[in-house]
Copies of this chain bind each other. A is one copy, B any other.
Amino acid sequence: MPSISPSLSAAMNHAATSVTETMQRILPKSDFPEQKLFDAMRYSVLAGGKRLRPFLVMNTAEIYGVDEDCALRAAAAIECLHCYSLVHDDLPAMDNADLRRGQPTTHIKYDEATAVLAGDALLTIAFEILADSRTHEDPNVRCALVSSLARASGANGMIGGQMLDLIAETTQFDIGAITRLQRMKTGELIACSTEMGGILGKAPAAHLSALRAYAHDLGLAFQIIDDLLDAEGTEAETGKSVGRDADAGKATFVTVLGHDRARQQAKLLSEQAIQHLSLFDGRAKNLEDVARFVVDRKA
């Protein structure tokens, strides 16, 4: 059984390529002395990655017939935000990671101060992109996008999850606490991706709930597989430092559940994610397929 269908593969490649082009176009350039900041911003977002969040924004927006240029701007915003979180997360005071997507992390390639500032600037530009009338003609939609992204990525979402992740290095978390941590750290932004697609399409509340529920299950499944790859994978396969969680003595889905149960749990979550999409009657095929893909991926 192939791990990825040709249509999903094409949709993922299209999302990755077009969001990268969009960021290339939107991110500012400079010939001024502060050029290094702009270089570091581009370096931090243009190195690649799966572009899962842009894929989710675009393929959710497509269900509602949203103009692709609008969806791409929202996708670029959330990817800038995701990349800022990686830059700050990799800092010496945080995860102290030297390698990301097979490349030196931003503070290694440039320096720590530039990495802090490039992260700050990527976070800031995400909101500038969303508030721009080119993202959607209706200002209510643009405000809803800003609110959704700010909530998902703020102290009650992603940043709170990162704080918990630091605490997990010195506190033994049980499975409930790990689930909450991951729901905040990665789940909220993944849920925001589908929510933003729905907001762009002025989706009814019932759709937004289903899209969020789908994405939260998808996000947890994604994270469990990440933990498995961290525990089982090699640096060459995953393109990033591995074994860091085990080295730090940190509880993960894998250390608490064990490998087999963790993989089983990821599959269950993937199936449950797909069930949340039943109200779309097959019009969310790419979202269904990606839920199957994330539990089969090798990197």
Interface majority SS on A: helix, strand, loop or mixed?
A: helix
Q: Which residue of B112, B123, B144, B156 contacts A93 across the interface (Cβ within 8 Å)?
A: B112
**Which residues of B have CB within 8 Å of A41?**
155
**Which residues of B have CB within 8 Å of A120?**
88, 119-120, 123, 159
Per-residue 0/1 for A110-152: is the Cβ within 8 Å of any B Cβ (1 yes, 0 no)? 0111101101110111011011110000011011101100110
Docked Cα-Cα span, A124 to B149, in Å, equals: 9
Docked Cα-Cα span, A111 to B166, in Å, equals: 11
Instruction: Check B167–A34 contact: CB distance below 8 A.
Output: yes
Q: Is A103's CB within 8 Å of the partner chain B?
A: no
Q: Which residue of B37, B114, B127, B140 contacts A146 across the interface (Cβ within 8 Å)?
A: B127
Docked Cα-Cα span, A116 to B143, in Å, equals: 26
**Which residues of B have CB within 8 Å of A91?**
113, 116
**Which residues of B have CB within 8 Å of A127?**
127, 146, 150
Instruction: Check B117–A177 contact: CB distance below 8 A.
Output: no
Q: Is A20's CB within 8 Å of the partner chain B?
A: no
A177 and B139 contact, Cβ closer than 8 Å, known pairs A93-B112, A146-B127, A146-B146: no
Docked Cα-Cα span, A156 to B28, in Å, equals: 8
Instruction: Check B164–A33 contact: CB distance below 8 A.
Output: yes
Instruction: Check A94–B113 contact: CB distance below 8 A.
Output: yes
Q: Is A286's CB within 8 Å of the partner chain B?
A: no
Copies of this chain, complex-wide, total 2
Instruction: Check A114–B163 contact: CB distance below 8 A.
Output: yes
Instruction: Check B123–A124 contact: CB distance below 8 A.
Output: yes
Docked Cα-Cα span, A177 to B33, in Å, equals: 9
**Which residues of B have CB within 8 Å of A28?**
155-156
Instruction: Check B116–A34 contact: CB distance below 8 A.
Output: no
Q: Which residue of B37, B116, B133 contacts A94 across the interface (Cβ within 8 Å)?
A: B116
What are 17 A-B contacts with C-beta separation under 8 Å?
A28-B155, A30-B155, A33-B177, A34-B161, A34-B163, A88-B116, A91-B116, A93-B112, A113-B166, A117-B163, A119-B120, A121-B154, A121-B159, A121-B160, A127-B150, A131-B147, A131-B150
Residues of A in contact with B (beta carbons under 8 Å apart): 28, 30, 32-34, 36-38, 41, 88, 91, 93-94, 111-114, 116-117, 119-121, 123-125, 127-128, 130-133, 139-140, 142-144, 146-147, 150-151, 153-156, 159-164, 166-167, 171, 177
* The 7 A-B residue pairs with the shortest CB-CB distance in the complex, in nearest-first order: A128-B150, A93-B112, A139-B139, A131-B146, A37-B163, A121-B155, A34-B163
Given A91-B116, A120-B120, A128-B151, 18 extra CB contacts under 8 A? A30-B156, A32-B160, A34-B161, A34-B167, A36-B163, A41-B155, A117-B159, A117-B163, A120-B123, A123-B124, A124-B159, A125-B150, A127-B150, A131-B144, A131-B146, A131-B147, A139-B143, A143-B143
